[in-house]
Amino acid sequence: MAGEKSAGVRFVFCVHNHQPVGNFDHVIEEAYQRAYLPFLEVMERHPAIPWVLHNSGCLWEWLETHQADYIDRIGALATAGRVELLGGGFYEPVLPALSPEDRRGQIERMATYLERRFGRRPDGIWLTERVWEPDLPIDLGDSGVAYLPLDDTQLLQVGVASEQVRGAFLTESGGRRLRVFPALMTLRYRIPYADPEETAEFLCNPFPGGGEGLAVYADDGEKLGSWPGSHRLLYEERWLERFLSALEKREDRVSVTTFAEESRRPAAGLVYLPTGSYAEMGQWTLPPDHQAGYQRAREHLRGAELAAEGELFVRGGFWRNFFARYSESNWMHMRAATASRLCEQIRGRCAPEVWRSARDHLWRAQCNCAYWHGVFGGLYLPHLRDGVYAELVRGEALLAGERHGRGAWVDHGQADFDLDGEPELILENDALVLILAPAQGGVLREWDDRAAAINLVNVLTRRPEFYHREVGKQQSESSGGAATIHACVGARDAGLQKLLLYDEVPRAGLVDRFFAEPPDPDALRTNRLAECGDFRTAPYEHEVITEEHALVARLWRRGRVRCGEQEHTLGLEKRVRLAAGERGYEVRLRYENLSAARLCVWAAFENHVNLLAGQAPDRYVLVDGQRVPPAELGACGLTEEAAEIVLVEEWRGWHIAFHLEPAVRFCRYPVETVSLSETGAERNFQGTALLFCLPLELEAGEARTLTLRAQLRTGVPVPASAPAAGADGS
């Protein structure tokens, strides 16, 4: 059926497979067994049908280690001309979000891998999430890219008539030409949801007004086996087998081809495309209220029999808006971009093998999945963000080692990572990195442990999402047991409505808070405890003091604290000390009553730690050496007096210890969010909030101090005997 047949309609069957950096092996293995492998087995049984495959570099690396036979089988098909392999950014980055150097580098990395493994460099690429920006042809052209598929909606929205979208179009930027193959949304929603015979028959006449042309299907391979109900539909009920057989019966009317073959045909015309992606992405990038307005506008137009006009002219935002919607996404993005620029700057000034290893770690940190959120968990999945930070920390550790050499050292600097116009302070040594934000309440934005390759302050803020208003409503439509995941919000977990709580400010470490009454964990979790001070997000003055083999970041400010009807002035100084060779840091807080009247208030020093699992038996809290129930990280807890809090991580064999002097009232509670996944709305444990609370009863001019020492240590401590039931206030 390939290429040379004279059928009026030509069909490209393109499948994109990807697994994120940081994903669990068992999750990838399940996708392999349910989607990637059975799809390959069916395609092998139909030698007359060529197809196009893109596997991300993340997935190729996993397959090399876990399922190398799959790669050999793909290689045999490629050699026989039965499958075309597409390139792309190796670690599946959103290319427009990268620097030109990283765009070209990631594309070259994939092209080199495919050439080495399969004997041919690709001419085309898969564009991650089909995110397009007008300047892309420049870097793609410089990288030898000749063509790529995009959604047809991106052409329709700039005025290409639907009856003309039946072949490749040319576009350019800076004189670099690129061929764009429009992938039909009508096919994306039919495969595999419509009847296979009907879908094959539709392909005989897929264009408005009929006639010849190219019909492209290009979509995720996980849809063909991993999405809910899809494995049963495609392989147990033989949807894919029946579809391919139906195509073979229609070979006189439908010719199955590849992008490589089609690239030799004349283009249908010239087109210039604005920023965009597939239609659903445009909605997901918008804030919740705007998503609601977008949906109302589309529904209103459908009611007025203007559905086609709605599809064309009612558009959402564009992908980069995720950086504005989610401060955590922007922070990771700018951290990775800054580290990548540093890597380029020291190229040639360090050992080549070290530089290449650092560069690959930093490229892995650009994997797109943890930077955004739509119908999949994405940014909301802590292990995906953890995967990004792990690669970022490993890459930066290699670069730091090249700059400072072996042995103990300490250094500091400034950078405006989030581009808010205010610098962050960086304290680092051979063991860890601390990033403080003086303008945002003097908080700790990031605590990286180099040996563990982890950012411990990786806790997502609770914020409203558009679909939260639908949480708990059950799926209303079904398509033969396998429904499109774009249509409905079912509740995967019970009690999600109680978790729809939202934060006023981003989560961070070393946060200064004040309360008029003793803090209570559940009141803190549910936002029922009112703040009585203005320190939480206010700017702090700052300086860095150099000591022998140590650095001290000094942050200070005067603020207001209200006690009943009376307002007091409070001076707060926060000294963060980092010594060379230490795998921890010390914070010394000094509170001074600058008012003429006596001050009575509760000071709370809030910290956040993310150890990924809230109910795992191998992760728990020790208070003064005792495992006091409920010890799980995902539980609320209150201890009236505590001097040492330890968070144990048996899975990776280390623990985090917080030592307090004097002893404090200790409150903890889980930070949990509700996000959407392909199986419905679900609960996500984002980390543990730890509040060290101190009653301040200060006369005029009186001061009091609190010292915190935080350290990550290797090994699992043995807890002392638990106290009698009821000793913990939870």
- What is the reported pLDDT for 287? 95
User: Mean pLDDT over residues 691-718, rounded?
Assistant: 96
Q: Which residues pair with 666 in a beta bridge?
A: 639, 692
398 three-class SS: helix
Pairing state between β 454-455 and 443-449: antiparallel
Residue 292 — very low, low, confident or very high, per pLDDT cuts 50/70/90?
very high
Which of 277, 293, 310 represents a domain boundary (last residue)?
A: 277
Say which residues have a Cβ less than 8 Å from residue 425's Cβ, sequence separation at least 6: 412, 413, 414, 435, 436, 437, 438, 542, 544, 553
pLDDT of residue 621: 97
In a domain, 263, yes or no: yes
Domain boundary among 247, 277, 307: 277
Domain count for the chain: 2
Q: Positive or negative CA dihedral for 202, 205, 209, 215?
A: positive
Is the separation of the CB atoms in 537 and 505 below 8 Å? yes
Contact call for residues 184 and 12 (beta carbons, < 8 A): no
Helices of type H across 552-598: none
Domain for residue 415, yes or no?
Answer: no
- Is residue 503 situated within a structural domain? yes
Residue 597, in any domain of the structure: yes
Using the structure block, give the residue that is written with the tokens 């639908």.
Answer: 470
- Does residue 191 fall inside a structural domain? yes
Percent of the chain at pLDDT > 90 equals 86
275 vs 292: CA distance, rounded Å:
22
Q: What's the confidence (pLDDT) of residue 357?
A: 97
- What is the widest separation between alpha-carbon atoms in the chain? 94
What is the reported pLDDT for 480? 42
Asked whether the predicted pLDDT for residue 723 surpasses 60, the reply is no
pLDDT (tens digit, 9 = 90+) per residue, 335-360?
A: 999 999 999 999 988 899 999 999 99
* Number of residues written out for the chain: 730
Whichever domain contains 696, its CATH number is: 2.70.98.10
> Which neighbouring-strand residues pair with 665?
693
Residue 467 DSSP symbol: G
Q: Please tell me the predicted confidence (pLDDT) of residue 490.
A: 63
391 inside domain: no
- Write down the pLDDT at residue 150: 96
pLDDT given at position 472: 56
Higher confidence at residue 157 or residue 329? 329
pLDDT higher than 70, residue 483? no
**CATH number of the domain to which 216 belongs:** 3.20.110.20
Mean local confidence (pLDDT), 399-416:
93
Portion of the chain with pLDDT greater than 70, in percent: 95
- 8 A C-beta contact, residue 61 and residue 254: no
Residue 188 has pLDDT above 70, yes or no: yes
Is the pLDDT score of 528 beyond 80? yes
pLDDT score at 471? 84
* Residue 593 included in any domain: yes
pLDDT in tens, 118-137: 999 999 999 999 999 999 99
The angle at the Cα of 377, spanning 372 to 379, to the nearest 5 degrees, equals: 35
Residues with a catalytic annotation lie at 129, 220
The predicted pLDDT at position 721 comes to 62
Task: Work out the average pLDDT over 240-264.
Answer: 97
Tell me which residue range forms the domain holding 689.
466-714
Q: What is the mean pLDDT of residues 654-671?
A: 97
Segment 382-405 shows an average pLDDT of: 96
Residue 726 has pLDDT above 50, yes or no: no
With 60 as the cut, is the pLDDT of residue 534 above it? yes
- Asked which of 248, 277, 306 is the last residue of a domain, the reply is 277
**Mean pLDDT of all residues in the chain?**
93
The predicted model gives 639-663 an average pLDDT of: 96
DSSP 86: P
In a domain, residue 208? The reply is yes
Flag whether pLDDT at 375 surpasses 90: no
